[in-house]
């Protein structure tokens, strides 16, 4: 049957009303693959209704609200539905997707483009979603489908929706990388979201369409990519997402390992990704756009994901989280490597967000992390704030610059307030914001040849991460002012002498010394470590009498929360001061 362009553009879809709640949000998140790690707080916030901060709805969930169904199977339209593929998806969010609502939507075909005989046709369908009660717009969804068997009808119909081409993915090395392994049941799971196209479930239908087995829904990847983008550069806040777009140029299959590569470009940050399946002579790619708004600062993210065609292999304990490399292979210890060596581990906005999220994740249910070690990749610990990133447009936007300063201070305060003991392992140099990061840690271990300093004054800048306050408190007002006003650097051995660092060692011994110290501390009860840290840090801000009261209160609370104190006293009584058993 020949495609009927007039039937398509004049088709009147019935309005679809859709009432949903928290359970539906959880079902959608599970359908795109979240929840595979039940102890990952970043995933739990979408699949557990009582998580800290409350349940959140994935922004891409707008794609399935008030869905008109598999309308291409309508015989009156004359489409070869088995050969239809999803080409692009674009979503504009007029407000964040709530976790419960009653919405209504109308769908219409806005464009039909003939690509020629044997080349198929392209169909654009638009769905406008609004609150069923108030009529307030929620989202506008455009779905572009490729009807591979329906070209050559000789027509072009519709009103035209002026879709701009999606921007290309950058060609240089990515700034951030993460991985995600899809379940072998991913396509079957996504049917829970309402897309029942048998192409994704029935091997026979898949073979008839030219695929060896059922392929993954494009919208499943769309939802997962949005979550990855939000975590990588959006600080994990789905409310920041304003628009999304994805292009699907080749099929992906359930069970594949996805490697997401992200790129940033200035204040209008862009996140991009490539999806590549490596086979002999074959390469496929998917690319898309995620538009995130934070206050007055707009960020355009090009997102992509790379999917090497591999079978599930043994998982490694080291993963990449934005610009941080995370290693949880040592019991009770998390080793965090600032992984921007090409930028001297300079701190930009996304890196600050990653630090904050990383520390909070250490206290997630099921985690037993007592010590966090922070170090830098390449030649140094950290050169400070990323001045090139700031100069690319952030400084010109006063609001954006203030938000960066707020995040810098929040990162430092988060480290200081963490339940974990935080150890800085410093080599090369720790300057300006890098020194502020180090001074927020509880114990500083440095290469004796390392250089530490606050060089803000040399560039007519002022500290924004607490350098003017923490440095005098650590080494005294006289020395603190000397180094703040001159911008001079302090060698590791001298930093140990004046009390800026706890230990200075030969550079060849730095890694082993830091790890041995972390292991020594991690053998202690986690609540005891958190309580001791709280007493010392908060006590420094209090008069002595109030500090002593804090110590008594902390001891009383610790004994109520943990039996470790009683067992420690019993062990001491049994073994004596030397720890040797009594005769």
C-alpha distance from residue 415 to each of 229, 273, 500, 526, 537 (Å):
24, 31, 17, 16, 12
Q: What number of residues does the chain have?
A: 583
Q: Cα–Cα distance between 205 and 198 in angstroms, integer?
A: 7
CA-to-CA distance for 147 and 119, rounded, in angstroms? 9
Predicted TM-score (pTM) above 0.85: no
Block means of pLDDT (10 residues each) for the chain, 583 residues, are: 63 84 94 85 89 88 82 64 73 90 88 69 87 92 76 53 64 63 85 84 86 85 78 71 75 72 48 39 40 38 33 27 79 92 90 87 83 94 91 80 85 90 96 95 96 92 91 94 95 95 95 95 90 88 85 80 72 58 37
| SS3 state of residue 195 | coil
Q: How far is the CA of 410 from the CAs of 156, 266, 359, 426, 481, in angstroms?
A: 55, 21, 11, 21, 24
54: Cβ contacts below 8 Å, ≥ 6 apart = 99
Q: Is 77 exposed, middle or buried (0-12, 13-18, 19+ CB in 10 A)?
A: buried
pLDDT value at residue 303: 41
Whole-number Å distance between alpha carbons of 226 and 264: 16
**Cα 336 to the center of its chain, rounded Å:** 15
To which CATH superfamily is domain 318-522 assigned? 2-enoyl-CoA Hydratase; Chain A, domain 1 (3.90.226.10)
Torsion angle of C-alpha atoms 413, 415, 421, 425, degrees rounded to 10: -120
- The CATH code that applies to domain 5-306 is 3.10.129.10
Q: pLDDT tens-digit profile of 419-436?
A: 999 999 999 999 999 999
The pLDDT of residue 311: 21
Q: Distance between CA atoms of 202 and 502, rounded to whole angstroms?
A: 63
Delimit the domains of the chain by residue range.
5-306, 318-522, 527-575
Say what the pLDDT of residue 119 is. Answer: 62
């Amino acid at each position: 049957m020949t495609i009927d362009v007039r039937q398509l553009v004049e088709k009147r879809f019935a309005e679809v009303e859709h009432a949903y709640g928290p359970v539906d949000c959880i079902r959608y998140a599970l359908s795109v693959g979240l929840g595979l790690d039940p102890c990952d707080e970043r995933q739990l916030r979408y699949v557990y209704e009582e998580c800290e901060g409350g349940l959140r709805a994935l922004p891409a969930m707008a794609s399935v609200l008030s869905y008109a169904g598999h309308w291409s199977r309508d015989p009156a339209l004359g489409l070869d539905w088995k050969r239809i593929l999803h080409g692009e998806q674009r979503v504009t969010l007029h407000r964040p997707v709530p976790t419960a609502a009653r919405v209504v939507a109308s769908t219409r075909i806005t464009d039909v483009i003939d690509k020629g005989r044997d080349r198929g046709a392209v169909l654009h369908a638009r769905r406008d979603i609004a609150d069923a009660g108030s009529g307030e717009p929620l989202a506008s969804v455009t779905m572009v489908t490729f009807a591979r068997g329906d070209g050559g009808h000789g027509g072009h119909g519709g009103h035209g929706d002026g879709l701009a081409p999606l921007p290309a993915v950058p060609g240089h090395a990515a700034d951030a990388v993460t991985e995600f392994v899809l379940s072998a049941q991913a396509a079957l799971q996504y049917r829970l979201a309402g897309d029942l196209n048998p192409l994704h479930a029935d091997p026979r239908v898949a073979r008839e369409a030219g695929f060896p087995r059922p392929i993954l829904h494009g919208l499943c990847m769309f939802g997962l990519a949005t979550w990855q983008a939000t975590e990588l550069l959006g600080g994990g806040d789905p409310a920041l997402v304003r628009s999304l777009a994805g292009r699907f140029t080749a099929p992906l299959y359930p069970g594949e390992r996805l490697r997401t590569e992200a790129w940033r470009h200035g204040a209008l940050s862009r996140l991009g990704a490539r999806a590549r399946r490596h086979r002999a002579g074959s390469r496929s790619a998917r690319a898309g756009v995620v538009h995130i708004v934070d206050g007055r600062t707009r960020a355009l993210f090009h997102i992509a994901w790379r999917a090497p065609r591999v079978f599930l292999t043994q998982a490694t304990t080291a993963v990449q989280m934005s610009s941080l490399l995370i290693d949880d292979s040592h019991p009770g210890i998390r080793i965090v490597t600032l992984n921007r060596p090409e930028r001297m581990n300079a701190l930009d906005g996304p890196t600050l967000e990653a630090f904050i999220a990383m520390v909070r994740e250490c206290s997630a249910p099921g985690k037993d992390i007592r010590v966090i070690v922070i170090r830098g990749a390449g030649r140094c610990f950290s050169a400070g704030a990323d001045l090139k990133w700031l100069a690319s447009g952030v400084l010109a936007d006063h609001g954006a610059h203030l938000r960066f300063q707020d995040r810098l201070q929040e990162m430092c305060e988060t480290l200081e307030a963490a339940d974990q003991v935080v150890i800085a392992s410093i080599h090369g140099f720790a300057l300006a914001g890098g020194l502020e990061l180090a001074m927020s840690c509880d114990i500083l271990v440095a290469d004796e040849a390392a250089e530490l300093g606050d060089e803000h004054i040399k560039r007519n800048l002022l500290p924004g991460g607490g350098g003017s306050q923490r440095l005098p408190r650590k080494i005294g007002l006289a020395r603190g002012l000397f180094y703040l006003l001159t911008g001079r650097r302090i060698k590791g051995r001298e930093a140990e002498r004046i009390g800026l660092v706890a230990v200075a060692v030969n550079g060849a011994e730095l890694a082993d010394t830091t790890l041995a110290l972390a292991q020594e501390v991690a053998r202690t009860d986690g609540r005891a470590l958190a309580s001791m840290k709280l007493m010392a840090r908060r006590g420094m801000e209090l008069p002595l009498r109030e500090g002593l009261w804090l110590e008594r209160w902390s001891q009383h609370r610790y004994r109520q929360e943990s039996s470790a104190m009683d067992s420690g006293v019993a062990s001491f009584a049994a073994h004596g001061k030397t720890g040797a058993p009594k005769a």
